[in-house]
Amino acid sequence: MALKGAKVFCFFFSKKKTLFLLLAAAAPVPATLPGATVVESAAGARAWIAAHHAAVIDVAPAPVRPAAMAPGMPWLPAAHQDIPGSAWLPGGGDAARADAYLRAVAARVGAPPGGAVLVYCHPHCWASWNAAHRLVQRGYRQVAWFPGGIEAWAAAGFDLQRTQAIPY
């Protein structure tokens, strides 16, 4: 059985020459988000942003230095690409950062009901769904979720911008 958006993790370990395989599937991201507009295409996202004069929020995670990397070794993560005009608030979908994320969004669009906000990340990403859901729960009335994210925007041939994470 295939699950759209499911992630499968495999762990192999040996104990007394026995090989074990553990499979765990993460739940797929829902196709709907009650209280928000789900924008299915990059063209639709671009139109929604323009029509609503929306703030655009990317909640993609920031790269993390590999734990196994030798101390003092230079680490050069790839440049982050965004939809032009986006504010990159990495970790905005994480429960532990929810209050800080909501304050950072309010600083851009005002307190609820505030202005329009479009939230995205990568395809099949729970972070953007959670981040948009938190805005709806907080009382924002013009929330759009773009589940195709950065990759769908680029696949449509639209420009991307290099950006830096905004600390919050």
What residue has token string 């690409």?
81
Backbone angles phi, psi at 101, to 5 degrees: -60, -45
pTM of the model: 0.82
Give 13 or 124, the one with higher predicted confidence: 124
Regarding beta strands 37-38 and 143-146, do their DSSP bridges make them parallel or antiparallel, or are they unpaired?
parallel
pLDDT tens track for 79-121: 999 999 999 999 999 999 999 999 999 999 999 998 999 999 9
Task: Please provide the average confidence, as pLDDT, over all residues in the chain.
Answer: 87
d(CA 129, CA 120) in angstroms, rounded, equals 8
Backbone angles phi, psi at 27, to 5 degrees: -65, 140
Give 96 or 17, the one with higher predicted confidence: 96
pLDDT for res 26: 73
Q: 43 pLDDT exceeds 60?
A: yes
Q: 4 pLDDT exceeds 50?
A: no
Regarding beta strands 117-120 and 143-146, do their DSSP bridges make them parallel or antiparallel, or are they unpaired?
parallel
Tell me if residue 116 falls in helix, strand or coil: coil
SS (H, E, C) 41-98: CHHHHHHHHHHHCCEEEECCCCCCCCCCCCCCCCCCCCCEEECCCEEECCCCCCHHHH
pLDDT for res 12: 33
d(CA 111, CA 80) in angstroms, rounded, equals 28
pLDDT for res 133: 98
Q: What is the mean pLDDT of residues 136-154?
A: 97
Q: What is the mean pLDDT of residues 143-162?
A: 98
d(CA 69, CA 66) in angstroms, rounded, equals 5
Q: 145 pLDDT exceeds 50?
A: yes
Domains and their CATH numbers in the chain: 29-62+80-163 (3.40.250.10)
